[in-house]
C-alpha cells in the first residue's frame, strides 16, 4: 500500500454523485433523536430518498421540502446528518486490523 494514491477530490465527487443518499441512515437517527417516532422518521426519509432517486433534487433538498418534516427540527441537526466525518472515525484502526490480518495470513509480516 506504500504506492497507493488517494484522490480526496475524486472521493468527494463520488460521494456527491449519491446526491446525499448515503446519509439517509444518519438522517433517520437524527429525526428519531429529535423525538419523531421511528415510523414517521422512516416515512420521511424513505419518501425523500425515493424522490431523490427519481428526481433532480438532492436528499437534503427533498427532506426540507417534505411536508411531514417538523418545522421545529433544527437545520443544524439536518446539516450534521450530512457530515461525512463520523464515517471516518476509527479508519486507522480498521485499516491496521484488516491489513494486519492480511499480512499475517499472507506471511508478509514486516511489509
Contacts of 101 (CB under 8 A, 6+ apart): none
Contacts of 47 (CB under 8 A, 6+ apart): 62, 66, 68
In Å, how far are 6, 25, 92, 109 from 100, measured between CA atoms? Answer: 20, 30, 12, 8
Model confidence, pTM: 0.75
pLDDT above 90 as % of the chain: 59
Give the number of domains in the chain: 1
Q: Is residue 9 in some structural domain?
A: no
CA distance 49 to 14: 18
Report pLDDT digits (tens) over 71-88: 999 999 999 999 988 877
Q: Is residue 108 in some structural domain?
A: no
Q: Which residue has the cell 484502526?
A: 93
CATH number for position 22 = 1.10.40.30
Report pLDDT digits (tens) over 35-60: 999 999 999 999 999 999 999 899 99
Q: Is residue 101 in some structural domain?
A: no
Q: How many CB atoms are closer than 10 A to CB 45?
A: 26
Domain that holds residue 59: 14-86
Amino acid at each position: 500500500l506504500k504506492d497507493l494514491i488517494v484522490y480526496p477530490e475524486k472521493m468527494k465527487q463520488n460521494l456527491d454523485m449519491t446526491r446525499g443518499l448515503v446519509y439517509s441512515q444518519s438522517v433517520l437517527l437524527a429525526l428519531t433523536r429529535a423525538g419523531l417516532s421511528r415510523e414517521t422518521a422512516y416515512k420521511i426519509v424513505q419518501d425523500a430518498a425515493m424522490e431523490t432517486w427519481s428526481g433532480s433534487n438532492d436528499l437534503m433538498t427533498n427532506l426540507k421540502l417534505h411536508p411531514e418534516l417538523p418545522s421545529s427540527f433544527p437545520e443544524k441537526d439536518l446539516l450534521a446528518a450530512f457530515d461525512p466525518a463520523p464515517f471516518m472515525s476509527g479508519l486507522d484502526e480498521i485499516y491496521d486490523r484488516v491489513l494486519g490480518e492480511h499480512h499475517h495470513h499472507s506471511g508478509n509480516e514486516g511489509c
